[in-house]
Chain A
Amino acid sequence: MNRRFLNQWLLAVTASLFMSVSGHAADEAPDALIGRLTRESLDIIQADKAVQAGDVSRIIEVVDEKIMPHLNFQRMTASAVGPGWRQATPEQRKRLESEFKTLLVRTYSGAMSQAKNLSFSVKPLRAAPDDKEVIVRTLITGRGDPVQLDYRLEKTPGVGAGWKIYNLNVLGVWLVETYRSQFAQEISAKGIDGLIATLTERNKANAAANAKPAKS
């Protein structure tokens, strides 16, 4: 019972990673943006055969094209790495960002086939008009209990849709915070390069494990 949330959490992270964009309209309200992205992402997850089958290269393609424009992934990585980010060279930062992204995308691609018959609602936004950072709360419903899915967005006037996501929360668990302690452990034991090496190794191992057609 204590770990039941995990299953839904992973499924919903997957769903949230699959957001798409169509065109760059004038700056959108953050809740309207999230609503549009969620609708479009659910359409892709449930319609694209390659995505449903867990085809990793296709999923990475979709993520790069549709999702990355709406994420401030550098800020997500910096925030997960914490104080160590200040000591990192530009080259190290780039490596951290790309390995972290690969880890998240590759891992969650396995849960794709579970996403079926999902719908969602966006809760009313509680924010002042001049807020630079807001939280948008949504609820994904399908079979089983509804899944809480929240986003932190920062205002980026004129860039993209005017807002970028820099953290997300599934069933009460913020993604960045969940990695912060793990990254800090690695850095204090082996330094920034040690963390990069660990991430790279893990991605290689995951790629090898996923190449074998194993039944979960």
Chain B
Amino acid sequence: MRSSSFRNSTHGRMSRSLGAGLALFVLMLSGCATGPNANPRDPLEPFNRGVYQFNDAVDRAVVKPAATIYRDVLPSPVRTGVTNFFANLQDAWSFVNNSLQLKGEAAGNSLVRFGVNTFLGFGGVLDIASEMQVERKTEDFGQTLGYWGVGAGPYLILPLLGPSTLRDTAALPVDAQGNLVAGVGDVSTRNALTTLNLLNQRSRLLQASSILDQVALDPYTFTRDAFLQSRLNAVYDGDPPDDSEPFEPTEENPVK
């Protein structure tokens, strides 16, 4: 009891000091974020756009070409195995976060999934649990904070890591602790696993990212608005409060 509350307070202090640092950082930047189109959820837009451009350049120069080679060289069943392996590790962390949100059934499912896939699915390479209809419910620490009432805060694009929010960024160190790959002792094995995970995830997005280039008038705004909605939806398990102000047809602009 005592040791667990001590651990919590350490974590709390860690994310608090990180949060304070970020808040300062936000204040420093918010001065330049004004304009007629300033989005209230994105006060750091000028900064974010800079990071977005940086990430995009890195992606085009390095990550996307590497992911394309990865996709073309490895056969599909191997890539599915890689996807399953990392998703299984994530299920273990989802168990912790489902438990922290007192979601009993989802926590039970996560635990069953992790057990079944680890022991019957050759360390998670095969997704036996999905064949058995055990539903996956992915939860991270940012969602746990959201569940307990922590607001998302401003939109934030992180260098190399991509779209996030102030809350989810503060949750990152905790999520990093919960990542089983981070627990691998051997540094070169750990780096190899992390790179494999990254390449595999990017290869799965190759088609989506090429569609994004076509469908978005402004890929930055498109990504932001989709990401923020998606995170809110994830925190509320698919049923967020309806705060949108629908544009209502009026007499002067009748709608059939």
Contact = CB atoms under 8 A, between A and B. Distances in A.
B104 interface: no
Contacts of B206: 216
B50 interface: no
Contacts of A72: 255-256
Contacts of A46: none
A89 B206 CA distance: 40
Residue of B215, B216, B233 ringed by the most chain A CB atoms within 10 A: B215
Contacts of B163: 2-3
Interface residues of A, number: 52
B126 to A, nearest CB: 13
B108 interface: no
A75 interface: yes
A178 B225 contact: yes
Interface string A165-197: 000000111100111111111101000000000
Interface residues of B, number: 48
A1 B246 CA distance: 31
A3 B244 CA distance: 23
Among A78, A104, A137, A181, residue most surrounded by chain B Cβ atoms (within 10 Å): A181
Interface in B208-256: 208-212, 214-218, 221-227, 229-230, 232-234, 238, 240, 244, 246-247, 249-250, 252-253, 255-256
Contacts of A74: 255-256
A145 B206 CA distance: 18
B177 interface: no
Contact of A1 (B36, B201, B208, B211): B201
Contact of A173 (B209, B221, B230, B244): B230
Contacts of A182: 216-218, 221-222, 225
B190 interface: no
Contact of B247 (A1, A4, A78, A106): A78
7 contacts: A3-B163, A3-B208, A78-B255, A110-B210, A177-B244, A181-B39, A188-B36
B217 A202 contact: yes
A86 B211 contact: no
Given A74-B256, A181-B221, A7 B232 contact: no
- Which 9 residue pairs spanning A and B have beta carbons closest together? A172-B233, A7-B208, A107-B215, A79-B247, A182-B217, A173-B229, A6-B208, A173-B226, A172-B230
A198 B207 CA distance: 23
A25 interface: no
B144 interface: no
A35 interface: no
B136 interface: yes
Contacts of B250: 86
Interface in A33-83: 72, 74-75, 78-79, 82-83
Contacts of B247: 78-79, 82-83, 85
Q: Residue among B229, B247, B256 with the most chain A CB within 10 A?
A: B247
A206 interface: yes
B221 A177 contact: no
Interface string B18-37: 00000000000000000011
B211 A108 contact: yes
Given A4-B204, A9-B230, A72-B256, 7 more contacts: A2-B162, A146-B135, A171-B233, A177-B244, A181-B221, A182-B225, A216-B206
A10 interface: yes
Contacts of B74: none
A7 B217 contact: no
B238 A3 contact: no
A187 to B, nearest CB: 10
A5 B230 contact: yes
Given A172-B230, A173-B229, A178-B225, A104 B253 contact: no
A14 to B, nearest CB: 9
Instruction: Name which of A2, A145, A185, A198 has the most chain B CB atoms within 10 A of its CB.
Output: A2
A209 interface: yes
A110 B207 contact: yes
A6 B222 CA distance: 11
